[in-house]
Amino acid sequence: MKGFTDFLREQGVVGLAVAVILGGAVGKVVTSLVTDIINPVVGLLLGNVALADKVVEMADGAVILTYGNFVAALIDFTIVAAVVYFGVKKMGLDKLDKAA
């Protein structure tokens, strides 16, 4: 772990690239978790409805607001933000930056 932290300190740009790649992978896993596990449970709690199918039609169907997808995206964002926050805190990465 010490070698990894030294790497992050010394190689800011390369470390950032690694973080972006890992972040994309974590994002895919969390999106799958939300889509495949959490949304069906939320839909079941709301009365056996598919959350992604929830829409509001306006102007006689000319405008369709898919609020179910928006709620799913909010859940997805909340989980990703929590994973990143607690991951950074747990690993102590918030203290890695060298003084300017």
**Within-domain flag for 6:** no
Range of the domain at 63: 30-94
**Within-domain flag for 72:** yes
Q: pLDDT by residue for the chain (100 residues), tens digit each?
A: 788 777 767 766 666 777 788 888 888 888 888 788 887 887 788 788 777 778 888 888 788 888 888 887 888 788 878 877 887 788 776 676 655 4
**Within-domain flag for 13:** no
Distance CA 84, CA 38 (A): 19
Query: Which residues are within 8 A (CB) of 99 and not within 5 positions of it... i.e. 6 or more apart?
Result: none
- The amino acid sitting at 82 is A
- Report the domain count for the chain: 1
Residue 63, CB half-sphere, CA atoms under 13 Å: how many?
A: 4
Helices (H), 1-100: 2-10, 12-33, 39-45, 67-91
Residue 22, pLDDT score: 84
Residue 96, pLDDT score: 65
Helix axes 2-10, 12-33, angle to 10 degrees: 120
**Within-domain flag for 40:** yes
